Structure 1
Amino acid sequence: MRIRPVAAVAAGALLGLSALALSPAAAQAAPHGHPPVTVAHRGASSYAPENTLASIDAAARLGVEWVENDVQRTKDGELVILHDSSLARTTNVEQVFPNRSPWNVSDFTLREIDKLDAGSWFGRKFKGERVPTLEDYMDEVEHNDQSLLMELKSPELYPGIERQTLKELRSEGWLTSSHVKHRLIIQSFNADTLKTVHTLRPDIRTGFLGNPSVADLPKFAKYCDQINPVHTVVTRDYVAAVHGLKGPHRRPLDLYTWTVDDPATALKVAGLGVDGIITNKPDVVRDVVEGSDDEDD
């Protein structure tokens, strides 16, 4: 277990979003009277190497509560945080293990992965950053008092990862009533994985990554609390169709969209009524959708 100091998240940033002043566009569209939730994609990944402890610490320093990550499994069965199936893009694995192309996560043990530098590719100041285990990651999220949108990445490659992840979350104290109700959502592109999670722990909120047809949405509403499509396919009618259905917890489905990094697009999707925006630049998106109307000051 790694213990690392981090700047405390400003208390005001963690208060309910309804207490914040809205920009005109966000206020007009917000279906529940508050702006969309801002989620730091792979942490604040425009400011620190993605899916590292440094990236969630960067989000904490920006006062961003919600972070998103990707969970995969090593050769020896340990859960780690990495987006790609290969280690090549975000570590120095090609230099450390030059003869093991294509450098898939599932072909390396945790001990081998722990030898890799997962920060230098992003910037010299992040040299020595490591690929975190799920345990280390959850310790840091808890330490920062943050909340987590967790993606089970390519679960078809890792049979049983749903049950294993839930077991580890439980051991880390993340399946308490308070965490499950307010601080944890599990998402995936794989519908069967979400069905499994819902069957094992029906109290956990789940999100499907994609944009099912309107006709198919009722099927997803049986085991999903969210529909999370890429922003380029989001329309006002689609948002309304999602909101028109109740999920397994008898609440209207939410829609979180990704990956939005510029103010104009953030205001556009906020105006369409989305409930959350997943972004590499959480400060930029948060400030524009939660910004006060300066002209009235």
Structure 2
Amino acid sequence: MSAAAVSLPPAKPPLVHHKSSYEGELPSCWGHRGASAAYPENTLASFEAAIRDGAEGIESDVHITEDSEIVMFHDPHLDRTTNGTGRIQTQKYHGVLDKLVTNKSPHQKIPTFRETIALLMRPENMKVFLNIDVKVDNDPERLFALMHEIVSSYPDFKTVLAPRLVLGLWHPKYVEPATRLIPYIRLTHIGMSPALARKYFWDACGAFSMNFSCLVGADGESFRKECKAANKDLYVWTVNKRAEMIEATKWGAKAILTDRTAEFLKLREQMNEDWLTVSAETTWKFQWTSIWYTSLANYLLASWERYVLTQAAGEFKLVGR
């Protein structure tokens, strides 16, 4: 059977059940770039630390090197986080990028997608999710073909691996190639604008991974309600403050992406034991506690997001047009 012929129901991340009076379920903990507050971001050490903390998932970004190796890396350039320089796409991984280490200690090499999938397939990690953030400088045909080659190399990948993979898309041009080349991976839109999410990704995606700030105000609240009514999962990033963790839990987020996995998991234990006390730490006044939660700030962020994405990947178009 060809990849395009495969049709599987979307998988949902594991939700954490609790024993308190809170009506619902506590969000899963996904390590944003791993446990990146404590370890160098997007490294195997950071991913492993998040898993040791008890995170149900890890999140990482991907780029393709000149010799067609998918690497787990946020920036298109090496300079900020490693002792290398220049653009990832123009350099070979083998013999070049694999010799580099992170600036932050403990110094780590740049991991590949291949190595990260192997980490997920260890017997002790068979329930861990991987949220893949597809950066828009990637060629979708090339990226998804390489991903399929790696994922499909595992026996029973459709049942033991694919349901734990979440593909995060910023730009609608990635929807059709992903649906065609890796249809067994669940599609999620990553963004900062509920308006863009509704217009360009609503029908294609079963989940939405949204910036925390854009979900605070009136439009964010409406979007949260729309997701709930349509049975679409909501993931929230990047949530590092205690008050924001509590608010995202009140919203019914299915997963919270955080750099501070140990802190969130400790808070989640407190929520589980005494939700009423913890939830009282934030009130309706929360939305006025930061300028970043205002309509103006979110409008500017959404406009900036669309401009940057358009410059990098072209105009937004509805899928199929």
Shorter-chain TM-score bucket reads 0.7 to 0.9
Gaps of 5+ in 2: 1-12, 277-321
Contact 2:227 2:234 in 1 (8 A): yes
What are the Cα deviations for residues 68-87 of structure 1, in whole angstroms up to 9, with x where unaligned?
A: 11111111111111110001
Structure 1: how far apart are the matches of 2:154 and 2:88?
23
Pair 1:137-2:119 in alignment? no
- Encode CA deviations 1:28-53: one digit per residue, 9 max, x unaligned: 4xxxx211111100111111111111
State the shift of 1:196 in Å: 1.8
Amino acid at match of 2:233: D
User: Matched residues in 2 for 1:57 and 1:156: separation?
Assistant: 26
CA, structure 1 residues 244+214, in 2 after alignment: closer, same or farther (shift >3 Å)?
farther
Secondary structure in structure 2 of the residue aligned to 1:39: strand
Q: Tell me whether 1:244 sits opposite 2:218 in the alignment.
A: no
- Which amino acid letter does the alignment assign opposite residue 152 of structure 1? V
Is the CA contact (8 Å cut-off) linking 1:259 and 1:278 kept in structure 2?
A: yes
SS in 2 for 1:171: coil
User: Stretches of 4+ moved more than 6 A in 1?
Assistant: none
In the TM superposition, residue 112 of structure 1 has moved relative to its aligned partner by 0.4
Quickly say closer, same or farther: Cα 1:215–1:262, change in 2 above 3 A. closer
The equivalent of 2:101 in structure 1 is 117
- Answer yes or no: is 1:105 the counterpart of 2:85: no
The answer to whether 1:176 aligns with 2:158 is yes
What is the TM-score normalised by the length of structure 2?
A: 0.72
1:68 corresponding residue in structure 2: 59
Q: Distance in 2 between matches of 1:104 and 1:295?
A: 47
Measured after TM superposition, the shift of residue 209 of structure 1 is 0.6
Q: 180, 186, 197: which one pairs with 1:205?
A: 186
Of 217, 220, 236, 1:257 maps to 236
Does the CA-based 8 Å contact 2:27-2:254 persist in structure 1? Answer: yes
C-alpha separation in 1, matches of 2:77 and 2:200: 33
Deviation (angstroms), 1:188? 1.9
SS in 1 for 2:121: helix
Percent of aligned pairs with the same residue? 25
- The answer (yes or no) to whether the contact 2:59–2:130 under 8 Å persists in 1 is yes
Q: Give the drift of 1:154.
A: 2.2
Contact 2:63/2:138 (8 A) holds in 1: no
Distance in 2 (CA, whole Å) between partners of 1:158 and 1:203 is 16
> Residue 255 of structure 1 aligns to a residue in which SS?
strand
Q: Which amino acid aligns with 1:197?
A: A
Tell me the amino acid that sits aligned with residue 130 of structure 2: L
158, 169, 180: which one pairs with 1:188? 169
Q: TM-score if structure 1 supplies the norm length? A: 0.78
Distance (Å, rounded) in 2 between the aligned partners of 1:158 and 1:217: 22
DSSP 3-state at the match of 1:229: strand
